[in-house]
Amino acid sequence: MTRVGVVIAMASEVPSFSRQTPLAGIVTLQDGGDLLILSGIGPERAQSAAQSLLQHGATALLSWGSAAALDAQLRPGHIVLPNTIVGTDGVRLSVDLDWQQPVRQCLADKVPVSIAAVAESRAVLKGTADKAALAHKSGAGAADMESASVARVAQSAGVPFLAVRAIADSLGMAVPAWLLQRLDLLGKPPAKALWIGLARNPADILTLARLARAFRAAMRALSSVKTYAGAELQRPQ
């Protein structure tokens, strides 16, 4: 029996996949038999989470969540199904295309989908310059912090790997530096720190509003993937 283990970095991404609210770092059994773990952001946490899923019986690994656009054509809410993951060391990590193909077919004419390489980022990309530099180095169309780690664990274990990522910020969007400094391990700033930051940087209110709208668009797109292709996500070939 195939059992898919799902790695999700941020608590705000979980509702796009599951109605359950897992505790960070705890493997939870989902309806239909999936295993899910809320890893926290970053490559090291994703690696640990993927290994934990395998120890709990997962026989395939899925990286699920948001991504940053490295290509100007990719807009918030656009789904990226990577054909390969490009590590920071330049190594290209495989995606199970036999698993991906039926997922892609289920989404035809329902959700905007691109097949593109996804690059590994070791930190949140602050803005256009960071994204352009990574695009030039990797040749990828999007980036995230966790998929490469999950792919490496899958490759080492010899199990199928798939990534489903939704663009949450376009190439021209920038995340205020002060906000990045206040994010917790689940990608959320404490409310008090957020209000203090906005009080000191009132010009960023509109920036945060745009980022919030873009993130909501990404989560709606991921929810649509789960709705239309949920059965195929559970059935790697």
Tell me 202's DSSP state.
G
pLDDT digits (tens, 9 = 90+) for 31-88: 888 999 999 999 999 999 999 999 999 999 999 999 999 999 999 999 999 999 999 9
167 contacts 80 by C-beta, under 8 angstroms? yes
CA–CA dist 101, 114 (Å, integer) = 12
What are the backbone dihedrals phi and psi of residue 161, each rounded to the nearest 5 degrees, phi first?
Answer: -130, 140
DSSP letter for each residue of 103-119 = HHHHHTTTS-EEE--EE
List the CATH number of the domain containing 78. 3.40.50.1580
Tally: H helices and E strands in the chain: 7, 11
pTM for this model (two decimals): 0.93
Positive or negative, the Cα torsion across 71, 13, 51, 130? positive
- Percentages helix, strand, coil for the chain, rounded to the nearest 5? 40, 20, 40
56: domain range?
A: 4-233
Q: What is the mean pLDDT of the chain?
A: 93
Tell the residue number behind the tokens 């193909």, with chain if given.
101
Q: What pLDDT, in 10s, does the model give residues 78-87?
A: 999 999 999 9
Residues whose CB is less than 8 angstroms from the CB of residue 236 and which lie 6 or more positions away in sequence, other chains included: 2, 4, 60, 96, 98, 99, 160, 162
Regions of the chain short of the pLDDT cut 50: none
The residues, ordered by sequence, that sit 6+ positions from 79 with a Cβ below 8 Å of its Cβ are 107, 111, 112, 113, 114, 164, 165, 166, 167, 221, 222, 225
**Structural domains counted in the chain:** 1
Tell me the residue type at 53. L
